[in-house]
Amino acid sequence: MQNEHRMELFACRASENFAAKVVNEINSLGPIGSDVLKLGEYEVSQFSDGEFQPSFNQSVRGATVFIIQSTFPSSDNLMELLLAIDAAKRASADKVIAVMPYFGWARQDRKDKPRVSIGAKLVANLLKAAGADRVMTCDLHADQIQGFFDFPVDHIYASRVFIPYIKSLNLKNLAIAAPDMGGAKRANAYAKELACPVIICHKSRERANVVASITAIGDVEGKDIVIIDDLIDTAGTLCKAADVLMGKGANSVMACATHAVLSGKAYDNIKNSSLTHVFVTDTIPLSSDPSKDKSKIKVVSMSATFAKIIRKVHNYEPISTEFIF
């Protein structure tokens, strides 16, 4: 009977630090079963041609297995997660839950031009084919991606940590801004919770990752503005929006973005922008390169939120109380 509802939690290589924090948070809430939860024994064998093979160095038979891995580039991170799920299923795990703090390929959620893939749907299919029984993720680029899955998806919102943090800043003339029209719904939800006005930035693109122009819609003058977004990639849109808002008379501009992809010249763009601070979560680790200037970037951890929801999912408890919107 002891093994019928056993939890095992493992971390793939890209999310080891985040997983360690999640385990500590779970244990801080009290033991699960008779033992203190520990991060499972897991290793990856590397072949000389770049191929790799994950393996579990302990039994997972009959257990509910949580595998934590964000699938930011490179694609090896996604492949490692898929192989780990397959390994757990073949080792007779009862259930395998993919915990994906950052769900990669989410920006490919539709055909926006002819003859392109819908990457988010393909990833959903791959997770099912690998044997996942459930996915837990945070701030999908588009909420409707949940419909790509034929099994449960726990969609966690970073508003759970960002809204209390914004309140703690005690900004006198707070306004929430969306960096583009696609983020209007998210920004409006934050503004409603914070009882403040919304500003919408309308952008046009020359091509992917290159913004041609941005126009701000709303009352900007004298406002302390927080731009809300789901991710920062090159930071081109974010920094240009901040510059436009400051040019229209904003008192200050900062940003909250869930996923710190931060590719290309993102760190330099943020450093040289009008932004005073950029708040991100730890769903993706910041670069370890000491030459990257992180002075304006502050990390707000999602580990406690994931820990609570992992614990509740394992114990078949409702999780609706963990969502702000």
Amino acid at 27: N
Identify whether the C-beta of residue 254 lies closer than 8 Å to the C-beta of residue 275.
Answer: yes
Identify whether the C-beta of residue 109 lies closer than 8 Å to the C-beta of residue 72.
Answer: no
Active site residue 121: no
Q: Phi first, then psi: what are they for 6, rounded to 5°?
A: -95, 135
Report d(CA 159, CA 166) in Å as an integer: 10
Residue 311 is given by DSSP the state H
Report d(CA 201, CA 203) in Å as an integer: 6
Residues 6+ apart with CB under 8 A from 165: 256, 279, 300
At 31, list the tokens: 């033991």
**Helix 159-168 × helix 184-194 angle, to 10°:** 50
Catalytic member of 21, 192, 203, 296: 203
SS3 289: coil
CA angle 66–69–73, rounded 5-degree value = 160
SS3 4: coil
Active-site residues, by number, are 203
